[in-house]
Amino acid sequence: MTQTIVKTKEGYTKIPNNILRAIYRSPFNGTEIRVIFFVIRMTSGWHKENKLLSYGYIAKEANLNKRNVRRAINLLTQSKIIIKSKDGRKNKLALNQNPATWELCKTQKIKGAKYPYIRGELAPKDRGEFTPVKN
24 located within any domain: yes
Q: What is the pLDDT of residues 69-108, one digit of tens each?
A: 999 999 999 999 999 998 887 789 999 999 999 987 643 4
Measured CA to CA, the distance from residue 118 to residue 85 in angstroms comes to: 24
87 located within any domain: yes
2 located within any domain: no
Residue 45: domain span: 14-100
Domain containing 38 — which CATH number?
Answer: 1.10.10.10
Query: Which parts of 2-101 are beta strand (E)?
Result: 51-53, 82-87, 90-95
> Phi and psi (nearest 5°) for 121?
-130, 150
Arithmetic mean of pLDDT over the chain: 80
Measured CA to CA, the distance from residue 22 to residue 63 in angstroms comes to: 24
pLDDT of residue 1: 64
Number of structural domains the chain divides into: 1
